[in-house]
Structure 1
Amino acid sequence: MTVDVIDAVRRFGEARALEGVSLSLAVGEFAAVLGPSGSGKTTLLRILAGLDFPDSGRVLIAGRDVAQVPARERGVGVVFQHYALFRHMTIAENVAFGLRVRPRNLRPAAAEIDRRVRDLLDLVQIPELAKRYPSQISGGQRQRVALARALAIEPHLLLLDEPFGALDALVRKDVRRWVRGLHDRLGITSILVTHDQEEAMEMADRVAVMERGRVVQFAAPQTLLDSPDSAFVAGFLGEATRLPGAVLGGRLACPRIGLVDAAVALPDGPAEVFVRPHELLIGPAGAGPGLGVVRFVRPEGAGGARVLVDLEGQSIEGSHDPAVATPIRGQACRVTVLAATVFGGSGGRYRLVRGRNGGDAAPGRPAGFGAPVRDHSLQP
């Protein structure tokens, strides 16, 4: 089913939880809604589920405006973080609950309900648990029961509200991959609401990033990392380090990381520079800018390592160049910028990539240590 949220606004007194949110999902798409606490993602989920209603705006499911339609009439399945299973009911009874409370004229026959419960427990791979109670099964199994219960009503839309938060790290990873695989087999349009970036980026076709009640970017995970629309998105997603810079005469200065004369198509004024660990190489100290001290080294196999460097009081994480000796904690080092994303203080974004226009890159290596960082170009 398609899902379209159009200019949804929700206020709680003077506070605006949603400020003109718009979002469109294609049939069978798996989307994630991601944002910090207070960004509005839970309010958006409640409005989609019919547990709350927008003050204005439209919510269309399969083309039908359900903005003021109660939850029981929407055909939406919801899986909550703590599963909300009935402790006094068996697993089979929990799965059947949504069918047995339907109005009599819409309720399947008892034999049909039993058949559907068996099929669903087979689908989520726990048929042997039908007669147990929630207290007798693991967290990962309870998550599967909650999912089966949500699917029992044959929903048009499946909403997942922080569904893996109660699981330990190893189980969480296995279960979320299983859920994504189940989604692909069933083809149900699904929306995951989460604060876990790894979860959203791994599971979703597209991720809606929310900030202060607005969707600030809705795109594929790789697009969000490579082409963030704002400094907020660039800093919120991934492991980017934010550094202050300045643009004067079309040249960027961020001396702390050795960017002293980089050409950028941005207006003069303050700028914010975002660099991810794989965009920095940490190597031997040498003359010039970009000098720091190694604070931590984490080996990553194949001779590489992740390195935390102190640059004049600024902590920044980069990657060790496997072509040189592994740095040692407390050792002086130098950072070489391979790429960076720059946002102008008055707007605009520019992508810097070292050596793109024939800079100082050496064969087989992204850039040579000790060379001045001057040659930069726009990454489309």
Structure 2
Amino acid sequence: MTVNSFAAQPRTTDVRTALPLADRAAGLVGSVIDSSTSLLASQTHDIVRFAMGSPADEAVPVEEFRDIAAKVLDHSSMTYGATEGEPGLLEALVGYLAGTSEPADPDRITITAGGMQGLDLACKIFINPGDLVIVESPTYTNGSATALSYGADLLEAPVDEDGLIVEALPELVAATGRIPKAIYTIPNFQNPSGVTLSLPRRQRLLELAHEWNAVIIDDDPYGLLRFEGEDLPSLQTLSPNDPLLFSVRTFSKILAPGLRVGWVDTDPAVRQLVINAKQAMDTCTNVPAQHIVAEFIRRGGLDQHLAGLRTEYKHRKDAMQESLHRHMGNRITTTDPEGGFFLWLTLQGEDAHISTQKLFETALAEGVAFIPGPALSASGKFDDALRLCFASTTPERAEEGIIRLRRAMDRELAALDDGGLGGGMRGGGTR
């Protein structure tokens, strides 16, 4: 068939069945979280935005970035860069981390296009189709979706106030009759729950990983944003130079997500595989953006910047919790994170019969956006829960957003009452 004759054919068949798609295409599930950006951009009315896990606009050091960018564009090369990262950024990053609780060896660091590329590299290197991957439930489903895109079978494991319930893993794994290939965890101020993996559970997780020879994909975008409590030793600190640790980090939450600059910390032998895999993706991370980050670190402002974020984000978390208590009382419960970006809100009593997926539509009409619980579970659990980002919203706007959310809940509860809470009751999710 010629090109012209093909073009003349009627396009009546679903493109997914008409095209010779790879088997893995069925695992490309996309992201409700990321899609919310486009959805909100299309709205014409005022919306309080609790949905995206993004730093506050006013927390981004824009003026300093402008000054640095002018110098970078004057003096930096616009050609390709080294796949492992610009030497200046690698040096600045390793130097900065030397003064933190998680120092890094330059032979282990590779610069990535944000944290998501780090997760993709981990899955690309370690996961075969059909491999069993443990994921937290709820979790950051962009991470679990990446594992799915490489053909993984997901095993959801519950979370409580001390993070992933590691002691439940042996029984969950035994029930599958298989050994996991990887364990995906967000140990600090977990997305979406805000909880932190306890020290005993960190230690036990490392033991299980070695027992199973399973790689731990250690995703920690928020570890530098602790605003109360005591730091816990990282998995890298507890098990130095561990080849089963693949640690993913990013500047997206501490500087600006639009820079798309992050890094991974891996065993040096794995690092060469990371470089090989990245060369097949994008050759190198955005070179000018790397130079901007490197210069920001070299100027010595990162510690002060982080200190300001911690103070402000604690203030915003406290303010949101106070608003929730004032306007919703015992209709909801929330987690109480010691850092990071998120509150996990669970509906109580009669409100637990409200579907947070349906509530999202009503809330959007009322002028407030959040992420419903089922979007944060690989199997669609938690229809009685939702995620709120406190970091990106001022206390005044958060107050208005909580009022709008309560109105949306009232509307949904009234609709349930009108329909009767008998046979038409919506089942609440489980934690």
Q: TM-score, normalised by structure 2?
A: 0.23
Q: Which structure shows the higher strand fraction?
A: 1
Higher relative contact order (CA 8 A, sep 6+): 2
Q: Which structure shows the higher helix fraction?
A: 2
Structure possessing the higher radius of gyration over alpha carbons: 1
